[in-house]
Structure formats: C-alpha cells, structure tokens
Amino acid sequence: MNASVVQMGWGASIRVWVFGSLLTLCVGIAGAIAFIQYELNLRKHDYQILNLAGQMRVLAVEMQRQSNEVLAGGGLNLGGGIDRELSLFDRDIADKVTLYEQIIIGFHARELPAELIGRDEPLRCNWDHQSTSQLDVSVAAWQRFRDGMERAAGDNPLRPNSLKVAAYLAANGHELVESTERLARAFQNMMEGKLLLIRLSVLGMAAGVVVASIVLAFILQRSVLRPLDMTVAAFRRVAAGDLGHQVPVARTREIGGMIRAFNNLSCRLQGMFRLTERISQGADSDQTLAFIHEEFSHFLPVDVLALLVAAPEPGRFGVERIHGKVLAESLGPLSDPILQMVCQSGQPRVLSMDGHESGLAALLGQVGLRTALLLPLSSVRDGGALLLVAAERDNAYGLDEKRFLHSIAAHVDSVLSRTLVMDSLIVAAVEGLAKLAESRDPETGNHLVRMSLYSALLAEEMTGDAAYARDIHRFAPMHDIGKVGIADSVLLKPGRLDDDERREMCRHPLIGGKVLRLSEERMAEEGRSVFRLGIEIAEAHHEKWDGSGYPRGLKGPDIPLSARIVAVADVFDALTSKRPYKEAWSVERALETLRKDAGSHFDPDVVAAFDRILPKVLEIHSRLAHH
C-alpha cells in the first residue's frame, strides 16, 4: 500500500469536510439568529405601526362621533355660549386632522417622524405590495376627505363654518373610517406574513441543523468510521496471518493516508515473510545471495550485493560472494578502516561516493556505484563480515532503508552463515571425491588443478557469469570420479587397452554419474541441489559434438555446456601432460588437434573461446607444469 501516491486536494480532507460542515452550520445558525433578531426588532416597529393605524381609526371615528353630537346638539353646553363650544369643536377637529395627516403622510413617505413615535430618530418602514396599494388608496381617500372638509369650512380659515364641517364629517366620516380600517387590515396581514416568515425561518434553521447533522454524521460514517472499521478488521486478518491483505483506499486525505500506510505495512510484512522464506531456500551461497538480491529489490534499490568476510590478516576483508553488475575482481581485497568500524559497532553505515578519493567509497565509485550501505553480520565468520548493498543513484538509502536492513540482518546473517558452512562442507566433499579419483591414477599430478582452472576461464569467457564459472571450477575435478569403479588392471595398464578393457573404461562416466546422483538425492532431501553440474560433467565429458562419443552418443547442443567446456580443457591438459604411455605434446600440437577436431569432437564455440583465453591458459600451464 503503495505508494508513488497522488496527493489529494483539500476538497478530499476530513478536516475540510468536518470544519466546513460545522462552519456552515454555525454560519447558518448565526445568520438565522441575526435574521430572527432583525425581524423581532421590526416586529416592535410593526406594533408601533399598528398602533398608529389604530390611532388613525380612532381619530376618524371620533371626528364622526363629535360631528354627530354637534349636529344633534348634544355637544353644546346651553349654559355657555354656542360660539365657544363650536370653537372648541373646531380646535379638537383640527388637532385630530393634523395628527391624522401627520400619520398618513409618514406612512406614505415610509418614514415616521421621531416626535410622532417617541423615538430619537425617525422610523423607516417597508411595505409589502398589498400594504402599498392600500396605502395609496387610503392617502387618496384622505386627500378627498380633507378637501371636502376645507370646502365645508369656507374661505375664512379664522372663522370656519363649524356646522357645515360637522355635517360633512357626519355624512362622509364612515368612508374615512372604512379606508382606515382597510389600511389597518393590510398592515395586520403584512405583520402576520412577517410572523409567518419568522416561524418558517425558525423551522428552516431547525431543518438545516438536522440536515447538516445528518450530512456530518454521514461523512463521519462513510469517510471515518467505516474505513476505520475496515482497517481494524484488516489488522485482525493480518494478525491472523493474511499478510498482504489490502484495504480499499478512502478518498479522504487523512483516512486515505492511514489506509495507504496500513496497505504499505501489510505489503512490507508479506514481503518480509516472503523474503525470509525465499532466502532460506537457497541451495548454495550464490543462489542465496541471488534470492536476497531479488527480494531486497522490493524494498530498496539494489544494483550490487556482496558478502565481505574478514581475512586472516587483521583489517582486511575479501569478497566472498558478489551478485550484480560488478565482478569480485573489480573490488579485490579491501582494507578500508570503515569496514572494521561497522563490524565492531554492529550498526549499518551508509556510504556516499561524493568527495572520496580513496578507500572503499572511491573503489565503488570507480565501478559506477553512487551509494552503498554496509550491514554488519555477526555470525558468518570470526573477525567479522558485512553485507554490502549498493546502488547506482545518489542518496538511495535513508533512515527507512537502514531500519529495514537492520531488522532483517539477523535472519540474513543466520542464512548466510548456514549456507557458507554448507558450501564449505560441499567443497570439502568435492575435493575429497576428486582426490579419491586422483589417488587411483597418481600419474596425473596437477592435472585436476590445471584443467579445472582452464574450465573456469572458458566458462567465464563464454557466459560472463562468475558464479557459473566458480561452479565449473568446483566440479570440473569430478569429471573422472567414476574411475573409482574401474579395476586397477584396466585403469593402471601401461599400454593400450583391448576392446573389452576399453568397454570397461567407457563405463566410468556412468559410474561417476551414479555416484553423484546418489549424493544429489541425499541433498534433495535437505531441499538443496548441489551436484547437478557435477553430474553433467561426469556423465557427458566424453560425448562428442558429432554424436560419436559415449556413453549416450549425445550430439551438438544436446551435450551440456559444462561437459563441452570440460572436454576441451581436459583433452588439452592431457595432451600437454606426460603419461606412462606417452610423452607430453607441445602446446602448438595440442592446439592444432583441438582446432582440427572442432566440429567433430569438440564444440567449435568452445574451441574459439579457448583460443581467446590462450594467454591465461599458457600462464597456468607454465606455473603448474607437470613434473
């Protein structure tokens, strides 16, 4: 789990979702509260407006009532003067008209004067369509009513005709009252509409709170709780042994990041388990190192993997095994003090090739490596051993890579130690078997040493595989192991063999193959394959390219490459060595024979490769000449 990971935007963040939901909820509640507070304040204004509308109705009713009383005489005090009573009527009506005029003009102008409502500042009003329409009608009715009063009062404002005014008011006052009542009802309807709006706002706020809560709960359930439940269940599965189990990655950054971390952990656990299982299956140290190289590549960049083991000489380390693009000869014996320091500290150490002019770092830099990590192994051999992990890119190993290698070091240490011990036992067994065969034919001298070196040089020249070349060098001496089953009278006969004796001698490849197959079966019981190459060499080194060889008459590429290589090396050394039945041939005569028999006895490609390595062959031939 994985990542190279695409970073999610803020829109996929739980923090954004939760905080955004809460913020929206809070803003909504605050807005609703502000709106309700505003409407409640307007409601106070509405009460003042309704009160003024009520005053207008009272004024209209009172003017009509007073007029009726004046006309009926009930409003005149017979004990006083009529003029005085009419004057009082005029003033009272004038006050009511003034107040009515002030109110309705304020309504029409949508601004009620401060002195009218007893406030410090005017009250500005907002009317709905119904109220505005009715207000226009009421204002027009008032203007007509007022004009009628003025006509009834006459042209002299100082001495109005009170009785005509009273008569006009008594006759037309009901229209003013009805107009005022309709205006009051319009205002009342408007106020009730506003109250309904407030109620709906409260209900909307409550519904919004419920919806926001449901959405928030849904987000938490889907984006937090459910992924967490899945992750907890996944932990249980991994704990139960289902390594590598993956959880679908959530779309949120936080939970998605946690799940990706879990998936990565699960993959790494599976990889670690596979790694420990795989590297334990190595049949030899080369295969084990190849498995380690392959499995390490899932966790960190690895271009070269080498096992460095302390040499008998203090402070020096040799390349025991190497896997990758660099040959062991490119490193050679190492004496950098840092190797001893890492062994003593027991802690991994990262090497960078920048700025190093000498030592191990400089040597690695010369072969194209840019970063290396030294992993100490405690139990491989006395004096210390290290696993060198190197890459061709800069800064390839950080803290995570060091932790990974440190956590797996104990298992790698144990496997490599066991494998090297087994390799040592196998080499000892191979050498013992080879010596056993050699003891039956003591005249061969250094034949096994020379031909095994020739074979190794040929194998590396043809394949470029150092591990394969080492195996050829290890098993080439066993090519004649089957001679232990040949009678001394045949094996040690100084002259030429007759037909029966030759048939007996031709049995030795099958005898050798049978011996080694029995050994391979025993090793297979331990889960290892050791003698496969030795079996190929023992059984097929007398086969010929044209199919005329023995014991099975194999032809061309059907003959294993290892046997074709050993055949050339064995014949060349036999021809250039002294035997009881012949003198040693010259190198030139031996080479002429190899070239002449290329395509019949020998693989032409092997003979061509032998020509290419001839200088190295001659150096070995001279140094280990038969005596």
Q: When comparing pLDDT for 376 and 598, which is higher?
A: 598
Per-residue pLDDT at 80 exceeds 60 = no
Q: How far apart are CA 255 and CA 30, in angstroms?
A: 31
Per-residue pLDDT at 603 exceeds 70 = yes
| 186 and 57 share one domain | yes
Q: How far apart are CA 8 and CA 170, in angstroms?
A: 83
Question: Per the domain annotation, does 253 fall within a domain?
Answer: no
**The pLDDT value given to residue 191:** 82
Angle (deg, nearest 10), helices 253-279 and 14-72: 170
As a whole-number percent, the residues of the chain with pLDDT over 90 amount to 14
| 405 and 454 share one domain | no
Per-residue pLDDT at 382 exceeds 70 = no
| 74 and 128 share one domain | yes
Burial class of 147 by CB neighbour count within 10 A (0 to 12, 13 to 18, 19+): exposed
Question: Per the domain annotation, does 374 fall within a domain?
Answer: yes
**The pLDDT value given to residue 363:** 78
**The pLDDT value given to residue 572:** 94
| 65 and 212 share one domain | yes
**The pLDDT value given to residue 593:** 93
CATH of the domain at 480: 1.10.3210.10
| 180 and 40 share one domain | yes
**The pLDDT value given to residue 551:** 93
| 31 and 174 share one domain | yes
Q: Could you tell me the pLDDT band of residue 581, with boundaries at 50, 70 and 90? A: low
CATH of the domain at 292: 3.30.450.40
Q: 443, 536 in Cβ contact below 8 A?
A: no
**The pLDDT value given to residue 254:** 65
- Which range, 226-235, 250-259, 528-537, is most confident? 528-537
Q: Could you tell me the pLDDT band of residue 364, with boundaries at 50, 70 and 90? A: confident
Q: How far apart are CA 306 and CA 322, in angstroms?
A: 4
**The pLDDT value given to residue 342:** 81
Per-residue pLDDT at 295 exceeds 90 = no
Q: Omega into 376 within 30° of 0, i.e. cis? A: no
Phi/psi for 577 (5° steps) reads -115, 150
Q: How far apart are CA 396 and CA 400, in angstroms?
A: 11
As a whole-number percent, the residues of the chain with pLDDT over 70 amount to 76
Q: Could you tell me the pLDDT band of residue 454, with boundaries at 50, 70 and 90? A: very high
Q: Which residue has the tokens 């080498």?
A: 306
Tallying the residues shown for the chain, one arrives at 627
Mean pLDDT of 45-49: 77
Task: Say which DSSP state 222 is in.
Answer: I
Q: When comparing pLDDT for 608 and 129, which is higher?
A: 608
Per-residue pLDDT of 200-238, as tens digits, reads: 877 887 787 788 778 778 877 777 777 777 777 777 777
Q: Could you tell me the pLDDT band of residue 383, with boundaries at 50, 70 and 90? A: low
In one letter, which amino acid is 306? A
Q: 150, 156 in Cβ contact below 8 A?
A: no
Domain boundary among 191, 219, 247: 219
**The pLDDT value given to residue 484:** 81
Domain boundary among 150, 185, 219: 219
| 323 and 389 share one domain | yes
Q: Which of 134-148, 243-257, 475-489, 517-531 has the lowest mean pLDDT?
A: 243-257
Tokens representing residue 329 in the block: 């000869």
**The pLDDT value given to residue 6:** 38
| 398 and 452 share one domain | no
| 34 and 169 share one domain | yes
Q: 509, 542 in Cβ contact below 8 A?
A: yes
**The pLDDT value given to residue 369:** 82
**The pLDDT value given to residue 45:** 73
Question: Per the domain annotation, does 229 fall within a domain?
Answer: no
Per-residue pLDDT at 333 exceeds 80 = no
**The pLDDT value given to residue 11:** 46
Residue 392, SS3 per DSSP: coil
| 450 and 369 share one domain | no
| 292 and 404 share one domain | yes
What's the domain range around 552? Answer: 441-623
What is the pairing mode between strands 304-310 and 385-391?
antiparallel
CB-based contacts of 337, cutoff 8 Å, min separation 6: 315
Q: What is the rounded average pLDDT for all residues in the chain? A: 78
| 293 and 395 share one domain | yes
Per-residue pLDDT at 436 exceeds 90 = no
**The pLDDT value given to residue 2:** 39
**The pLDDT value given to residue 431:** 65
Per-residue pLDDT of 27-37, as tens digits, reads: 777 877 777 77
Per-residue pLDDT of 319-330, as tens digits, reads: 777 777 655 555
Question: Per the domain annotation, does 1 fall within a domain?
Answer: no
Domain boundary among 389, 409, 429: 409
Question: Per the domain annotation, does 463 fall within a domain?
Answer: yes
- The b-or-e profile of 399-431 (16+ CB within 10 A means b, else e) is eebbebbeebbeebbbbbbbbbebbeebeeebe
Question: Per the domain annotation, does 257 fall within a domain?
Answer: no
CB-based contacts of 67, cutoff 8 Å, min separation 6: 93, 165, 166, 167, 168, 169, 170, 173
Question: Per the domain annotation, does 385 fall within a domain?
Answer: yes
- In the chain, the number of structural domains is 3
Question: Per the domain annotation, does 259 fall within a domain?
Answer: no
Q: Could you tell me the pLDDT band of residue 539, with boundaries at 50, 70 and 90? A: very high
